[in-house]
């Protein structure tokens, strides 16, 4: 008997937005020497978080707290809001899926940037939404163009990341606040701030927590080094936050993850050390790029996007040559952003591998083009 899928599901490709390094290692038959492609924090989690997760593992026979009570209250205190303003979810990816489910029906227009974080577009497609995209401008998302598309289409949902993935660029807090202020009353802005802890001062705006037009998304995957536990959170107006309880997986944020995130939130010293290590790695990657005749873009994240100087085909050859030399990196998927590769802020020993292999990879990419 054939599977009885919906017409929408039948129309979709079976796809994964990101092919993980583990899948590539299985195909290659060997591990990467430098795992610097997934925007992970290779400097690791807080020892306090590791200890808390180990202790929680002993009680893994218990179900998790479906309200994430302790973590929600701690996050509310950290962000100067009430617990009613906070929702904890299975990473930003999981929260994106829930928001799309809340807002999008088949045919609903949804605005995003062409080449922006692909998991959002994946969720929109999965619920039958109609993606309306605007191009990047000078390697940054374009708030004015996003707003114009919202007004033109009447879209109830718009996605904007600040700082941005995949380019690492950013807008000022004032520019973000202006975008929010200009939104129609019926539109919800998903403000993805996954990399906010790495950004310079003046990037994260102060926004009215009760404004129902904006939902801020944060994660423990990046600066806190806990990508594997899948914990993120949303900060928004209580009426918006309460809607999640209609559809969310109430046991989705597991007991170990809640414990690790709560402990990580309390270890500010570790966060300071991570920021310093990331800053040093960004500087080194930028210097290596310049030494190889490439242009590093300014970054407010834990990766550096590097302009390879030609087109997407050339950047793909550079990426493939690095992969062949056991250096895992990624690249944007849409022109003209795809003239770049994206290099994560790895540990010093991983950047040693990058420094060793980058010149040969560039030579191989050039030879492949001429051959």
pLDDT band at residue 195, thresholds of 50, 70 and 90?
Answer: very high
Q: Kindly report the CATH number that applies to the domain delimited by 20-44+269-370.
A: 3.90.1150.10
pLDDT band at residue 78, thresholds of 50, 70 and 90?
Answer: very high
The CB density around residue 152, as the number of other CB atoms within 10 Å, is 11
pLDDT band at residue 2, thresholds of 50, 70 and 90?
Answer: low
Measured distance CA(160)–CA(34) in Å, rounded: 30
Segment 4-42, tens digit of pLDDT: 899 999 999 988 888 899 999 999 999 999 999 999 999
Segment 140-170, tens digit of pLDDT: 999 999 999 999 999 999 999 999 999 999 9
Q: Which residue, 247, 226, 207, 198, is CA-closest to 71? A: 226
User: 217 pairs with which residues across the strands?
Assistant: 192, 234
Measured distance CA(303)–CA(97) in Å, rounded: 25
Measured distance CA(3)–CA(324) in Å, rounded: 39
Segment 240-256, tens digit of pLDDT: 999 999 999 999 999 99
Q: Which residue, 96, 86, 85, 103, is CA-closest to 186? A: 103
The domain limits of the chain are 20-44+269-370, 47-266
Q: Which residue, 96, 98, 40, is CA-closest to 274? A: 40
Segment 298-320, tens digit of pLDDT: 999 999 999 999 999 999 999 99
The pTM for the full model equals: 0.96
Please measure the distance between the N-terminal and C-terminal CA atoms of the chain and give it in whole angstroms: 50
**Which DSSP string corresponds to 279-325?**
HHHHHHHHHHHHHTT-EEPP-SSSEEEEE-SS-HHHHHHHHHHHHHT
Instruction: Specify the pLDDT at position 3.
Output: 72
Instruction: Specify the pLDDT at position 18.
Output: 84
Sheet containing 303-307: order of strands: 295-296, 303-307, 340-344
Do 47-266 and 20-44+269-370 fall under one CATH topology? no
The phi, psi pair for 21, rounded to 5°, reads: -60, -30
| Chain mean pLDDT for the chain | 97
Whether residue 92 contacts residue 116, with contact meaning beta carbons closer than 8 Å, is answered with no
CB-count burial class (<10 Å; 0-12, 13-18, 19+) for 22: exposed
Segment 111-127, tens digit of pLDDT: 999 999 999 999 999 99
Whether residue 349 contacts residue 315, with contact meaning beta carbons closer than 8 Å, is answered with no
Q: Are strands 214-219 and 232-235 parallel, antiparallel or unpaired?
A: antiparallel
pLDDT > 90: percent of the chain: 95
Q: Which residue, 333, 306, 323, is CA-closest to 122? A: 333
**Which DSSP string corresponds to 268-291?**
HHHHHHHHHHHHHHHHHHHHHHHH
- Peptide bond before residue 336 is cis, with ω within 30 degrees of 0: yes
Helix or strand (DSSP H, E) at 238: helix 238-243
Q: Are strands 327-328 and 34-35 parallel, antiparallel or unpaired?
A: parallel
DSSP, collapsed to helix, strand or coil, labels residue 131 as strand
CB-count burial class (<10 Å; 0-12, 13-18, 19+) for 291: exposed
Measured distance CA(226)–CA(204) in Å, rounded: 22
Instruction: Specify the pLDDT at position 27.
Output: 93
Among the CATH numbers 3.40.1080.10, 3.40.640.10, 2.70.98.60, 3.40.50.2300, which is that of 47-266?
A: 3.40.640.10
Residues 186-208, mean pLDDT to the nearest whole number = 97
Quick check: 1 pLDDT over 60?
no
Segment 220-240, tens digit of pLDDT: 999 999 999 999 999 999 999
């Amino acid at each position: 008997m054939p599977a009885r899928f919906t017409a929408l599901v039948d129309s979709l490709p079976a796809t994964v937005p990101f092919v993980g390094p583990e899948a590539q290692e299985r195909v290659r038959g060997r591990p990467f020497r430098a795992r610097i492609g997934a925007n992970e924090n290779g400097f690791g989690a807080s020892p306090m978080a590791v200890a808390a997760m180990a202790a929680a593992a002993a009680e893994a026979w218990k179900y998790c707290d479906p309200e994430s009570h302790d973590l929600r209250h701690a996050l509310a205190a950290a962000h100067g809001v009430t617990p009613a303003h906070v929702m904890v979810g299975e990473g930003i990816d999981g929260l994106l899926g829930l928001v799309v489910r809340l807002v999008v029906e088949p045919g609903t227009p949804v605005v995003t940037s062409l080449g922006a974080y692909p998991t959002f577009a994946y969720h929109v497609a999965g619920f039958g939404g109609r993606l309306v995209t605007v191009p990047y401008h000078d390697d940054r998302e374009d708030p004015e163009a996003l707003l114009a598309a919202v007004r033109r289409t009447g879209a109830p949902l718009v996605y904007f990341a600040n700082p941005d993935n995949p380019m690492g660029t950013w807008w000022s807090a004032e520019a973000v606040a202006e975008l929010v202020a200009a939104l129609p009353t019926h539109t919800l802005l998903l403000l993805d701030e996954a990399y906010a802890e790495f950004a310079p001062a003046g990037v994260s705006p102060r926004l009215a927590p009760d404004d129902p037009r904006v939902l801020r998304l944060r994660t423990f995957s990046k600066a806190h080094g806990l990508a594997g536990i899948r914990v993120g959170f949303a900060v928004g107006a209580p009426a918006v936050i309460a809607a999640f309880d209609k559809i969310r997986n109430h046991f989705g944020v597991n007991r170990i993850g809640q414990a690790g995130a709560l402990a990580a939130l309390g270890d500010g010293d570790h966060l300071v050390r991570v920021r310093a290590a990331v800053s040093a790695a960004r500087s080194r990657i930028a210097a290596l790029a310049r030494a190889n005749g490439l242009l590093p873009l300014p970054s407010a994240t834990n990766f550096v996007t590097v302009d390879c100087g030609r087109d997407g085909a050339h950047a793909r050859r550079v990426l493939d040559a690095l992969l062949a030399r056991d250096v895992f990196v990624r690249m944007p998927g849409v022109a003209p952003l795809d003239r770049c590769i994206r290099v994560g802020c790895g540990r010093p020993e991983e950047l040693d591998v990058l420094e060793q292999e980058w010149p040969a990879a560039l030579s191989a990419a050039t030879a492949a083009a001429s051959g």
